[in-house]
Structure 1
């Protein structure tokens, strides 16, 4: 019989984009690739329309991933990692909310288990999380074939209800359970996840999430960044 032991600490779940960083990492990545001449300018036009749908909570995530992963097709993870390392140094590190670092450290000092769950693909989320000192990540998984990226996703997309599904699968793989859970996000798309945790926090929430947070008397956190970050 597999009996899980409850640990005396909490699980702290963070969204990434517009929550820990003052921007959308996938969008910044697209700009980065276009700037480097590795993606066509048309990518930005297509993505802009999709971001508008995301803000309304109506984004077709499968279509979005097909569009934004196109530049990875045929490239090895090693080549992409080199690009991502430069991207994090040049673009992401300056975009990190100082208050996010403080909150991560607050949870770390408490002994809480910190997890990022993001609707961005793993080739970006995992190294960004590592830069933040966070080991555990749930992100959209991307398919490889013969050692190169195919431009396709695999598995359950960690978006909306998919975040909850992926979290439940992740929890099943853990050797212990938690005393409770915290959740942090800016987006109405994460309402299913925030409704699941014991202590939800709306970080710089979009209008729809802000309204829901006020009605449910959730804590609203106002994080600010001095740098002029591309949005």
Structure 2
């Protein structure tokens, strides 16, 4: 058994779940429309490797402050079914199934919020979900995060926390991602894979002879 670590956005699905979620919230009149332009500016910094993830999360979680976890879980489950399911790459599903048949430990790991990643982990039949945790007080979301953010080096730290005590944790492990922000994770695993990689990661993958996978939606 080995770890099989899959990024979500632009790796298993076409698009970014957090950006799509904000558009969904605006369409449902649950967030102001002017948030979209600012979020896109922040995402541009993400692709340049310059994003402040704490700042991004604080901004995008504003519409959730004061909401209940139950309300959010219901809305995000509908969002996953209505928006994200159709964006899943068939080749990604096939790769997940290959690992499942090997008896590997399947982990969906993302720098998106747990409200977006958890429904997808259930949909994909993953064994574990690692995402940015949302803070709450007395049953109400605060609009803030808690714990180590699963972003860049934080992804490696969160895996170490999840499987604490396993001395052979990374031995024979697999990693799949599209982003150079995930280089710490890809360098930690035994078998890194660049999936639909951004130009920076594609170049690094070529230099290190990492497999490059170009997945597409059917049709």
TM-score grouping bracket, smaller chain normalisation: over 0.9
Under a length normalisation based on structure 2, what TM-score does the superposition of the two structures give? 0.96
Q: Deviations over 1:119-155 (max 9, x none)?
A: 0011111111101111301110110011010000001
CA distance in 1, matches of 2:72, 2:172: 37
Q: Which residue of 2 aligns with 1:6?
A: none
**Which structure exhibits the higher relative contact order, with contacts defined as CA atoms closer than 8 Å and separated by 6 or more residues?**
1
Q: Deviations over 1:85-117 (max 9, x none)?
A: 211111000000000100000000111110111
Q: Deviations over 1:17-56 (max 9, x none)?
A: 0001111001110000000000001110110001100111
- Cα 1:178–1:50 change in 2 (3 A) is closer
Under a length normalisation based on structure 1, what TM-score does the superposition of the two structures give? 0.92
Q: Which residue of 2 aligns with 1:12?
A: 4
Unaligned runs of 5+ in 1: 1-8
Q: Deviations over 1:158-213 (max 9, x none)?
A: 10111111111112066984651000000000001000100000000000000100
CA distance in 2, matches of 1:93, 1:175: 36
CA distance in 2, matches of 1:163, 1:135: 16
Aligned positions of 1:13-52 closer than 5 A:
13-52=5-44
What root-mean-square deviation, in Å, do the aligned CA atoms of Structure 1 and Structure 2 show? Answer: 1.4
Unaligned runs of 5+ in 2: none
Poorly superposed stretches of 4+, deviation over 4 Å: 173-179
